[in-house]
Structure 1
Amino acid sequence: MTRTWQITDITDAARARIATARLAAAYGVPPLERARLLSSLGAQLRLCLTKGGTWRLTLEAGTASPATAEVEAGQGVLHAVVTPSRDAAAAGQPPWRVTVPCPEAVPTADADVTPDDPAALAEALLGADEDTVLVLDRLTEQEHLVDFHREELQQTNQGVVALHAELDAAGRAQREAFAAERKARTEAENARRRLTFLADASAVLTASLDHHEIVRRLPELLVPEYARSVDVWLFDQDGDRPGPAHPAAAVVAARTGRPQYAAPHPGNLPGVDDQPPSALDPERPLFCIPLPTRQAPLGVVTLSPPGERWDPDDAVMLIELTRRASIAIDHAQRYQHNRDIAETLQRALLTELPAPPGLAMAARYLPATHGLNIGGDWYDAFRQPDGGVIAVVGDVTGHGLRAAVMMSQLRTALRAYAVDGGSPGRLLTRLHTFLHHLQPDLFATAVIARFHPDEPTLTWAAAGHPPPVLRTPDGRVQTLDAKPGAMLGIPLKQEIADHTVPLAPGSTLALYTDGLVERRALGIDPGIARLAETLGSFGPAALEADLEGAADGILSPLLSDSERDDDVCLLLCHLRGTR
């Protein structure tokens, strides 16, 4: 179906619009699409009348093609096309088109008849308003729907905003938690670093028993991480306080025993008193920490900061390290004092060996590498009134001053008993009785050898002591292990027997303590065997010419390790080749 109208004036346009409305209704075009068609057509016709000339309106019913975007392909459509006539002013311009969907319907014969009387035109005009009313009603519905969706969207937006606020708050809380965790982790790492440094530095300081070494190592430990410079000032033994060369804050720290901080601004360090800046260096902060002891400070450590100032936790650590350094220095000074006393006492107790005709002697005494360097080992040699020579090596159980004092008493008692004469066994028996009554809780071992120029024999006796080792002139070595007596001082009555062995010129006798031959892992027998082997390795000429060198030559292979848990005593007696 195709309909065409010529439009020249407003009446033609009105009639064409009315006819189009009737045809659209007859073809079943929906009211909304019909209203869109008529509104668009009316606007286009007004535009055409404004331009003037003759225009042609063509209305065609058909089927939609795939190129038609407004409706589905294959659906019934109604095409409206407005084109200018050839004599119109707008001739040549593209035609105006509009397409609306419609069901397959057949219009009546008079559907496109245009009425001429006013009543029919008015009715047609009112009919057009009905479509407009439908559009307005539909528009009202859409406005209500838009308002509903707008309200729903607003509520949704409020929920989203609230959710974003909650997420933002949660994010801030999470960031704060992460920051707190990082801070806690950093503080824990710094605390671990300080504790590790404190433990390592304490181990270094307490490893030495030389207070000069401790004072030297302290700056090496602190510079440059915890201090730019370190000055350690130790008081004199008489307690003199510093002169003008030391900062005033150091003087206050020495007098009060409290740490002092001298700087232009307060340090606010825990447990530290603030002082004005030092006159010696006003621009540099100083941290003066006393070296505390139970009685009075040993001195003052003065530090300058590695940066502008110290962290409070670092200051607490430095105070603790200084306290530990003070303990180490105090222990080292006490050890040095006691060691000096022990060495003086030991030198007083060691005998200057006699030089009887035909008999050479050499002795060595090495204290243990631990402790006060003093113990109960001793050697002695002296003449008896009948011309005989007594050589003795002994060992009092234990270490320290008590063992040394007991050793001195035994040495003095032996010399007193020997004045009255007596064989080695008799002398040891008297020493046993003496020690048992004098110190019931102390015990000792000893071996005594007696040389006499008129006797070609060696008389000896032992009480719980390692056996003597004798080297004969021909190089053979024998261990004098005849049955010895028990230890001196045990709660047992005993008579210690004498033993004799032939003694030819050129013979060498070795008396010693167990510290020379005994090792924890091996026992004493392997050590005695090594001693005998070493003594037998010397030639007769070497022993005759340099007995002192032979003594050193025996100690060297037997004491290869530098650490000794026990004292070592060796006494060599060499009978010269010509008597």
Structure 2
Amino acid sequence: MTRTWQITDVTEAAGARIAAARLAAACGVPALERSRLAATLGAQLRLCLTKGGAWRLTLTTGPADGAGAESGEYVLHAVVTPSPDAAAAGEPPWRVTVPCPEPAPESAAGTAADDAAGLAEALLGADEDTALVLERLSEQEDLVEFHREELHQTNQGVVALHAELDAAGRAQREAFAAERKARTEAENARRRLTFLADASAVLTASLDHHEIVRRLPELLVPEYAASVDVWLFEQDDGTAGPAHPAAAVVAARTGRPQYAAPHPGGLPGVQDQPPSALDPERPALCIPLPTRQAPLGVVTLSPPGERWDPDDAVMLVELTRRASIAIDHAQRYQHNRDIAETLQRALLTDLPSPAGLGLAARYLPATHGLNIGGDWYDAFRQPDGGVITVVGDVTGHGLRAAVMMSQLRTALRAYAVDGGSPGRLLTRLHTFLHHLQPDLFATAVIARFHPDEPTLTWAAAGHPPPVLRTPDGRVRILDDKPGAMLGIPLQQEIADHSVPLAPGSTLALYTDGLVERRAQGIDPGIERLAEALGSFATPRLESDLEGSADELLRPLLSDSERDDDVCLLLCHLRGPA
């Protein structure tokens, strides 16, 4: 269906617009689309009237292009073209197409109403459409405002999220930096503690304070100090020595670490002093060597760089304290060792020189601990002309064992004055020790020589057996049943044993330190002693018993470390001249 309107003035244009709106309403075009069509068509018609001339509006309704009527798809075409004789002839037509839900009825008005009632009705209809459009527009504005608010809130959330992410990133970076710093500090602390432990082990391993003083600079240079000077007060003998910084003197007087430099060091627990007059440009850290009474000296260090790290300075103060303890212990040990050696020499008396009997003794202290123990040897005459020789060993080590050994030796000499065989003397020593020191024990072997008797009488109490070399070079281990250790809570009568003794015979009495080794036991050592004693020739023993004693010890003590004292007493019965 096609309808055409001629338009030359505004009244015809208004009528054509009204007719197009009515046709669109008849075709079921929604009010919003209908209003859009009317507004668009009205704007175009106003433009045409402005240009002048005659114009033609053509409205066509029908099925959509390519679709049949049975498809239910319809459209409304509006075309505005100029008349052939108009001034705007040749201008391209204006077109608009609107989908229609239903076809245009045949009763749809073909002409626009030109009466007042029709125009009023059309105006009211247009107002209804406009009101509907405005309502829809208001809804859209509300929807737009709602979405704008949502967008604003979303933007605020995004901004807040970005702020939170930025804060989280900054916190993460700070956490990473703190973690790296903590890891670095922990690694440095571990390095310092490891060095402190290793250096302490080195310093405390020696009991020679001169060695400790020598090792201290080797440990600190060059990582923790460029130079180290150890000033021990006991080394000052009144002679002029090297000059020391004033800060070292202050450290010695106050017992507190001092730092002398042109600028404050800021070291914890260290007092700042003016720079040293000896070297004003060189910082010096002066740390006293503390003890309970007074400092032993002062350690003066110069930094490996411009200055020390505060934690390094704390470590250096602690290491110096440990070095002071090691030096103090070493000096005390040296002092006690000197006392022990003096006491030991006083306890080991000179041997007698009885006619027809040669005696040679050797005593070697253990290489660990104080050089004093419970091993002893002795030889003395009895009133009847016999000679008692004894080697004993008090359990334990140190001053207590040495004092007990001295008491046993004195008691043995006192008992021997009244006479008595070796077994009887050991029995009396057993009773004496048990009542005097119930928690101390001892072993001993006693051999008795008498110029009028061609026999050797001996007895042992828990002691290694004597070794006898006969003049023909044969060696016999006198391992007859011995008594139990002296001092154990047991009543015992220690038996005597006798063996023929020819001139030229040699008897070896000894302690277990000579023959016993932890990995081998005592029996292999006794066999080695017997073999070594048998290797000597009788003339050598006759002429040089002292040298023979030294030569006998040499193969048996090839190892330099001894865990126990060593005592050896050689008794050689001289042959006829």
Aligned in 2, Cα 1:560/1:5: closer, same or farther, shift over 3 Å?
farther
| Alignment TM-score, normalising by the size of structure 2 | 0.79
Equivalent of residue 432 in structure 1, options 429, 441, 448: 429
Question: Offset of 1:391 from its aligned partner?
Answer: 4.2
Alignment pair present for 1:324 and 2:322:
yes
Question: Offset of 1:411 from its aligned partner?
Answer: 5.5
User: Which residue number corresponds to residue 20 of structure 1?
Assistant: 20
Question: Offset of 1:274 from its aligned partner?
Answer: 1.9
Aligned in 2, Cα 1:155/1:413: closer, same or farther, shift over 3 Å?
closer
Aligned-partner residue type, residue 393 of structure 2: D
Please give the residue correspondences for 1:499-578 in structure 2 after superposition, counting only pairs within 5 Å: 499-504=497-502, 507-518=505-516, 524-525=522-523, 527-533=525-531, 535-536=533-534, 555=553, 563-574=561-572
Which range is displaced more, 19-28 or 123-132? 123-132
Please give the residue correspondences for 1:426-465 in structure 2 after superposition, counting only pairs within 5 Å: 428=425, 432=429, 444-451=442-449, 456-465=454-463
> Are the counterparts in 1 of residues 385 and 451 from structure 2 also a CA contact under 8 Å?
yes
* 3-state secondary structure, aligned to 1:236: helix
Aligned in 2, Cα 1:106/1:494: closer, same or farther, shift over 3 Å?
closer
Q: Following the alignment from structure 1 to structure 2, what is the Cα–Cα distance between the partners of residues 494 and 168?
A: 94
Question: Offset of 1:379 from its aligned partner?
Answer: 3.0
User: Which residue number corresponds to residue 335 of structure 2?
Assistant: 337
Alignment pair present for 1:31 and 2:31:
yes
Q: Following the alignment from structure 1 to structure 2, what is the Cα–Cα distance between the partners of residues 87 and 477?
A: 163
Question: Offset of 1:182 from its aligned partner?
Answer: 6.3
Deviations 1:462-491, CA, capped at 9 Å, x for gaps: 454322012335554322234556666789
Deviations 1:292-327, CA, capped at 9 Å, x for gaps: 111110011223334544444443333233222211
Alignment pair present for 1:215 and 2:213:
yes
* 3-state secondary structure, aligned to 2:104: coil
Q: Following the alignment from structure 1 to structure 2, what is the Cα–Cα distance between the partners of residues 244 and 563?
A: 39
User: Which residue number corresponds to residue 134 of structure 1?
Assistant: 132
Equivalent of residue 377 in structure 2, options 376, 379, 388: 379
User: Which residue number corresponds to residue 252 of structure 1?
Assistant: 250
Q: Following the alignment from structure 1 to structure 2, what is the Cα–Cα distance between the partners of residues 85 and 130?
A: 34
User: Which residue number corresponds to residue 392 of structure 1?
Assistant: 390
Aligned in 2, Cα 1:226/1:86: closer, same or farther, shift over 3 Å?
farther
Question: Offset of 1:121 from its aligned partner?
Answer: 5.8
Q: Following the alignment from structure 1 to structure 2, what is the Cα–Cα distance between the partners of residues 96 and 553?
A: 140
> Are the counterparts in 2 of residues 53 and 88 from structure 1 also a CA contact under 8 Å?
yes
Structure 1 unaligned regions, length at least 5: 68-72
Alignment pair present for 1:100 and 2:98:
yes
* 3-state secondary structure, aligned to 2:20: helix
Give the root-mean-square deviation of aligned CA atoms. 4.8
> Are the counterparts in 1 of residues 434 and 489 from structure 2 also a CA contact under 8 Å?
no
User: Which residue number corresponds to residue 61 of structure 2?
Assistant: 61
Aligned-partner residue type, residue 36 of structure 1: R
Question: Offset of 1:257 from its aligned partner?
Answer: 0.8
Q: Following the alignment from structure 1 to structure 2, what is the Cα–Cα distance between the partners of residues 86 and 542?
A: 164
Deviations 1:360-393, CA, capped at 9 Å, x for gaps: 6654432123221111212345788998765432
Aligned-partner residue type, residue 17 of structure 1: R
> Are the counterparts in 1 of residues 19 and 112 from structure 2 also a CA contact under 8 Å?
yes
User: Which residue number corresponds to residue 288 of structure 1?
Assistant: 286
Deviations 1:426-482, CA, capped at 9 Å, x for gaps: 894698399669965666443343556776543434454322012335554322234
> Are the counterparts in 1 of residues 349 and 378 from structure 2 also a CA contact under 8 Å?
yes
Q: Following the alignment from structure 2 to structure 1, what is the Cα–Cα distance between the partners of residues 404 and 376?
A: 11
Percent of aligned pairs sharing the same letter: 84
| Alignment TM-score, normalising by the size of structure 1 | 0.78
Q: Following the alignment from structure 1 to structure 2, what is the Cα–Cα distance between the partners of residues 191 and 213?
A: 28
Aligned-partner residue type, residue 365 of structure 1: Y
> Are the counterparts in 2 of residues 250 and 302 from structure 1 also a CA contact under 8 Å?
yes
Alignment pair present for 1:262 and 2:260:
yes
Question: How many residue pairs get matched?
Answer: 573
User: Which residue number corresponds to residue 70 of structure 1?
Assistant: none
Aligned-partner residue type, residue 196 of structure 2: L
Q: Following the alignment from structure 1 to structure 2, what is the Cα–Cα distance between the partners of residues 103 and 171?
A: 59
Which range is displaced more, 439-448 or 172-181? 172-181
Deviations 1:224-274, CA, capped at 9 Å, x for gaps: 444443322211267979967211111100001111122333334333222
Question: Offset of 1:337 from its aligned partner?
Answer: 1.5
Q: Following the alignment from structure 2 to structure 1, what is the Cα–Cα distance between the partners of residues 495 and 188?
A: 72
Q: Following the alignment from structure 1 to structure 2, what is the Cα–Cα distance between the partners of residues 58 and 408?
A: 149
Which range is displaced more, 263-272 or 383-392? 383-392
Which range is displaced more, 245-254 or 468-477? 468-477
Please give the residue correspondences for 1:349-368 in structure 2 after superposition, counting only pairs within 5 Å: 349-350=347-348, 363-368=361-366
Aligned in 2, Cα 1:410/1:145: closer, same or farther, shift over 3 Å?
closer
> Are the counterparts in 2 of residues 414 and 427 from structure 1 also a CA contact under 8 Å?
no
Question: Offset of 1:504 from its aligned partner?
Answer: 4.0
Aligned-partner residue type, residue 60 of structure 2: E
